[in-house]
Structure 1
Amino acid sequence: MDSLITAAARALAAGDPLGALNRVALRDDAPALALRGIAMAQLGDFVRAKALLRAAARAFGPKEVVAGARCIVAEAEIALVSRELGWPVRTLEAARATLQAHGDHANAAHAHYLQVRRLLLTGHLDEAEHRLAGLDLTTPLPPALRAAHELVAAGIAIRRLRTTAARAALGRAAEAARQAGIPALMAEVETTSRVLDTPAARLIARGSERLLRLDEVEALLASGMLVVDACRLVVRKADSMVALARRPVLFALARMLGEAWPDDVPRDALIARAFRTKFSDASHRARLRVEIGRLRAALGPLADITASGRGFALTPRGANEVAVLALPVEDAYAMVLACLADGESWSSSALALALGASQRTMQRALDALAAAGKVQPVGHGRARRWMTPPIPGFATTLLLPAPLPGG
């Protein structure tokens, strides 16, 4: 490898894409093409970056398997950053295995982190945690990769509401990022750290509301209080949980009863909110009795529902308090906004994959959000992406596709 290629590679490793381009911008040999592709990716021109990396892989040819594998890893990272979550995972795994077999442990670890980050984005926390734990850390990693490792660990801990572990991981990530000296990496650590100190949910109890940080949410869920969790559509007490995500009428009733506790809720109010009607008659009251019976059976040992003269009231079992945990910002498309709030541009197909919905459903949601001025499209046709600024002053962790403890 000649001196210009070495200098360009060092510039890229230090987060200086312009310095790298100054050295290889006019060269068309395979190593220069690869470095130019990585530099363009760091500058945000992903289309040009992918073209250069594919040209580099062709120029390296079948004999340069390690160099070709590195190009594949770089292209996979571009796909992840540009939220092309449908990018072939098996191709990345094959490249990782090639790098590992040829002793390039640093780039093999980088490929491994890309796999884990994709799992994290799509809400597969168990698999992401398993893969992260399976990474061999006996070989010392460069500071940038140590920061990446801790960021992934922090991301998993945040979504599982393990705030102490998340703070510890972010502290280690910040130190590794300072050692790497890469401004973009330090900024990513700082942005992630702010999630722990911004409101993540609203607590509704005894007729009052207040905002909670993630550590306060964690303490609430571990307190033994009966919590009607509108972030995950469950009713829970400590480690016991009843999922109602697929029974929206039952959850609507549970939330109203939880918000009113210790008072009861009139039958007409329950009918209006749960059945979405302004008028009620005998058939609605009969249906309400049926749904209340179903909710009473679903809650089982967690709570009972008692009838009063004007309606129904929630009676917790083994808990002295009842609270509702609600989203900081209520919106019909809150989960879509939560994904878009990371500041990256998403395609409708990537959002559908991350949220487990059909692409057509996601397109309708994006069209509605665009009409309301909450998101904006960039590009046309298959290249169209969607973006929105973060919700100011709020963390969006509890809106993302990941279960809370016990989920």
Structure 2
Amino acid sequence: MDSLVTAAARALAAGDPLGALNRVALRNDAPALALRGIAMAQLGDLVRAKALVRSAARAFGAREAVARARCVVAEAEIALVSRDLNWPTKALESARATLEAHGDRLNAAHARYLAVRRLLLIGRLDEAERGLAGLDPTPFPPPLRTAHELVVAGVALRRLQTRAARAALERAGRAARLAGIPALIAEVENAALVLNAPAARLLAGGDERPLLLDEVETLLASNALIVDACRHVIRGAGTVIPLASRPVLFVLARVLAEAWPHDVPRDVLVARAFRARAADESHRARLRVELGRLRSVLRTVAGVSATRRGFMLVPQHAQQVVVLARPVEDRHAPVLALLADGESWSSSALALALGASQRTVQRNLDTLAAQGKVQSLGRGRARRWMTPPMPGFTTTLLLPAPLPID
């Protein structure tokens, strides 16, 4: 490489995209195109960045396999930032293998981190952890060590391992300060805010209070009977009872748990479970059937007893019954949680991350747009959705990933 390209590459490594563009903005050779693409990505013009990196990949000759592989990695990173989660992962894996075969271990590791970050976004934590297992960040330069620790912290946060997440973020902060890149330091600081913001609400004995992530972790490790409205499961005595596919049973369990240690009138149960304004005999008969099913489901952790005016929950082993609720009770909360990272998402990427159909996600987005909660940019396949981060709480418990004992 000539001196201008070398200087531009050093400017990009130091987080100075404008300095890089000052050196190669008017050049159209392959190395300059690649550097211009990376600089435009750092400045936020992802569409232009993607086009430049692709042009660079085409401009490199067939014998320049390493340079072409680096362009593929750069395009994959642009796709990740623009939340194009359907970007072909096989191309990234092929590029990583090429870089490793030619001894470019740093860029090969960067490619692996991109793959792991994608898995983290779509909630595939086991695969993300396996991807991290083969990486030792010790010999990496500070920026790559920061990226490693941020991914480690991301996995730990999604598993509600707050101590591990805090330690990883502290290591990331030290590495980012060594790198001296302001954007990287800001990214670590923003990630650390999650640990100090309310993550859920605790409903118990008629009272309600917010919980931080470490408090949620402590609650899940306790011997309380927990009706988890974040994941639609019931937890108790080391047992997890999933009820996401049985919404009526979950509503009944939640209503009974919110009232514990008191009972709940039959009319209230009918209204909450069946959304009926007035309970008639058919509703009461259905209520008896559903409560019988709930007894059967909960038999290992609790019972449901009839009282003069209604029913009450009777835990078998726990001394306390609580409800763990989302910080925001909104049926569109998972969509908002993903959009709260401040990035622009396509509806297909949201559908992949949420495990839902694209049509369902699109209907949710249209509803949120009508309410002014999200906005779209672009048209057709280039259309992206975004919203400012929701203030005042973290969205970890809204995201599509399992909690520790799922």
Q: TM-score, structure 2 length as denominator? A: 0.99
Residue 378 (structure 1) aligned with residue 374 (structure 2): no
Secondary structure of the 1:69 match is helix
Offset, 1:381 = 1.4
Aligned residue identity for 1:288: L
Counterpart in 1 of 2:16? 16
Counterpart in 1 of 2:172? 173
Equivalent runs, 1:254-403 vs 2, <5 Å: 254-403=253-402
Asked if the contact 2:333/2:398 (under 8 Å) is kept, the reply is yes
Secondary structure of the 1:324 match is strand
Offset, 1:239 = 2.9
Offset, 1:380 = 1.4
Secondary structure of the 2:230 match is coil
Q: Which moved more, 1:234-243 or 1:116-125?
A: 234-243
Secondary structure of the 2:227 match is strand
Counterpart in 2 of 1:212? 211
Counterpart in 2 of 1:42? 42
Q: Distance in 1 between matches of 2:207 and 2:40?
A: 51
5+ residue gaps, structure 2, are none
Counterpart in 1 of 2:116? 116
Asked if the contact 1:221/1:238 (under 8 Å) is kept, the reply is no
Aligned residue identity for 1:198: A
Offset, 1:279 = 2.1
Q: Distance in 1 between matches of 2:56 and 2:237?
A: 54
Offset, 1:143 = 0.5
Secondary structure of the 1:192 match is helix
Asked if the contact 2:344/2:384 (under 8 Å) is kept, the reply is yes
Asked if the contact 1:203/1:323 (under 8 Å) is kept, the reply is yes
Offset, 1:90 = 0.5
Q: Distance in 1 between matches of 2:277 and 2:182?
A: 56
Secondary structure of the 1:305 match is strand
Deviations 1:122-149 (A, max 9, x none): 00011111111122446x1111110000
Asked if the contact 1:225/1:321 (under 8 Å) is kept, the reply is yes
Counterpart in 2 of 1:90? 90
Offset, 1:378 = 1.1
Deviations 1:79-103 (A, max 9, x none): 0000000000100000001001111
Offset, 1:27 = 0.8
Counterpart in 1 of 2:70? 70
Asked if the contact 1:144/1:180 (under 8 Å) is kept, the reply is yes
Equivalent runs, 1:79-228 vs 2, <5 Å: 79-137=79-137, 140-228=139-227
5+ residue gaps, structure 1, are none
Offset, 1:284 = 0.9
Asked if the contact 1:199/1:212 (under 8 Å) is kept, the reply is yes
Structure 1 segments of 4+ aligned residues over 3 angstroms from their partners: none
Asked if the contact 2:232/2:244 (under 8 Å) is kept, the reply is yes
Aligned residue identity for 2:57: A
Deviations 1:297-322 (A, max 9, x none): 11121111111111110111111000
Q: Distance in 1 between matches of 2:358 and 2:42?
A: 29
Aligned residue identity for 1:181: G
Deviations 1:40-73 (A, max 9, x none): 0111111111111111011102110000000000
Q: Distance in 1 between matches of 2:366 and 2:282?
A: 37
Asked if the contact 2:225/2:315 (under 8 Å) is kept, the reply is yes
Asked if the contact 2:137/2:145 (under 8 Å) is kept, the reply is no
Offset, 1:24 = 0.4
Deviations 1:370-397 (A, max 9, x none): 1111111111111111111111111000
Offset, 1:161 = 0.5
Identity of aligned residues (%): 73
Q: Distance in 2 between matches of 1:26 and 1:389?
A: 35
Aligned residue identity for 1:133: A
Counterpart in 2 of 1:30? 30
Deviations 1:153-204 (A, max 9, x none): 0000001010000000000000000111111111110011000000000000
Secondary structure of the 1:38 match is helix
The count of residues paired between Structure 1 and Structure 2 equals: 406
Asked if the contact 1:122/1:355 (under 8 Å) is kept, the reply is yes
Offset, 1:238 = 5.3
Asked if the contact 1:222/1:238 (under 8 Å) is kept, the reply is no
Offset, 1:282 = 1.2
Deviations 1:319-358 (A, max 9, x none): 1000000011111100000000000011111000000000
Aligned residue identity for 2:23: R
Offset, 1:237 = 1.9
Deviations 1:195-247 (A, max 9, x none): 00000000000000000000000001111111101001011025311011111
Secondary structure of the 1:394 match is coil
Q: Distance in 2 between matches of 1:137 and 1:241?
A: 36
Offset, 1:277 = 1.5
Asked if the contact 1:150/1:169 (under 8 Å) is kept, the reply is yes
Q: Distance in 2 between matches of 1:229 and 1:88?
A: 36
Asked if the contact 2:79/2:85 (under 8 Å) is kept, the reply is yes
Aligned residue identity for 1:52: L
Asked if the contact 1:46/1:82 (under 8 Å) is kept, the reply is yes
Q: Distance in 2 between matches of 1:254 and 1:316?
A: 12
Q: TM-score, structure 1 length as denominator? A: 0.99
